[in-house]
Amino acid sequence: MISRKNRIYRLVPTLFAAMAVVSLLVTPAEARDMADITKSKKFNIGVVPFPPDVIRDPKTGEYKGIFVDAARTICETIEVECVFKEFAWATFIAGIQSRQIDLSVASTYSKMKRALVVNFSQPIYFLGYRAVAKKGDNRFNSPEDLNNADITIGVTQGTGEHDWAQKVAPKAKLSVVKTEELNMLQIITGKVDVAIGDSVAAHHALVKQSGIQAVLGGRIYSRNMVAWAMHKEDTDILRFVNTALNQLIASGKLEELAKKYEAPWINDLAF
């Protein structure tokens, strides 16, 4: 079930559609279950750096964050090792499909069409898109103001906001980069007129950079449910993950982690 995502199962819908078609044409993979995981003593966990959910230390390569710590709590409880494997937003679906990982704790948007390709856990929190521009640039009051051939919009490759920008501003030019951090940097360096990122990444940029401001009325657009994802055939793992999340929620552990890492989404929890 910013970047806060770098979120959010935030691949472009056409990619998900293609994967859905492929999954119908190939022989279904043999399902894995929690017995396989507990027997092997290893739980292969996919991550995509997206503070504060998933944070990668650039010096040590170690992972921490709300979802990483939650996954470690789960692994400790069932006495298995968490084996973290890093992916990008545009590639981690392949990690699930090829069974490199048993579970993705990337900050993933769960949507109906995407649920044709993978299983989603119950929702954890809500996340959307937010736009930022240089301070004093008052051209962008609504999404309609973006649809201009003279405007360059910064977006992150393979994300929901990438697709959203294409839909609301088909006339605008897009500057597409690989991470939310690079996308926010585009507006700071003046490479783009406006950058659209997930609300968490935008929040972090606005806190750290005094020279930018929220635009489009400061609103969060296209709110989506953030959840974890796993292979479509692995229904036993899905049931376990939902049980684990329910225990983390009921015990207050998940909210404790959200407060520890100062999650901008703490008031947008889905429970």
**Per-residue tokens: 107:** 């900050």
How many Å apart are CA 106 and CA 54, to the nearest integer?
7
Q: How far is CA 58 from CA 15, 61, 63, 167, 219, in A?
A: 30, 6, 10, 35, 32
Q: How high is the mean pLDDT of the chain?
A: 89
The amino acid at residue 245 is L
Which pLDDT belongs to residue 11? Answer: 40
Could you read off the pLDDT of 90-144 as tens digits, one per residue? 899 899 999 999 999 999 989 898 899 999 999 999 988 999 999 999 999 999 9
**Does residue 29 surpass a pLDDT of 60?**
no
Q: Where are the domains of the chain?
A: 13-125+224-268, 128-222
How many Å apart are CA 127 and CA 26, to the nearest integer?
33
**Per-residue tokens: 204:** 């972090």
Q: Domain 13-125+224-268 belongs to what architecture?
A: 3-Layer(aba) Sandwich (3.40)
pLDDT top residue among 26 and 40? 40
Could you read off the pLDDT of 154-203 as tens digits, one per residue? 999 988 889 999 999 999 999 999 988 899 999 999 999 999 998 888 98
Q: Domain 128-222 belongs to what architecture?
A: 3-Layer(aba) Sandwich (3.40)
Beta-carbon count within 10 A of 26 CB: 8
Contact call for residues 228 and 104 (beta carbons, < 8 A): yes
pLDDT top residue among 180 and 257? 257
Contact call for residues 228 and 30 (beta carbons, < 8 A): no
The amino acid at residue 57 is D
How many Å apart are CA 201 and CA 199, to the nearest integer?
6
Outline where 26-121 has alpha helix (H): 34-40, 66-78, 92-97
Which pLDDT belongs to residue 113? Answer: 86
| CA-closest candidate to residue 145, choices 171, 177, 174, 176 | 171
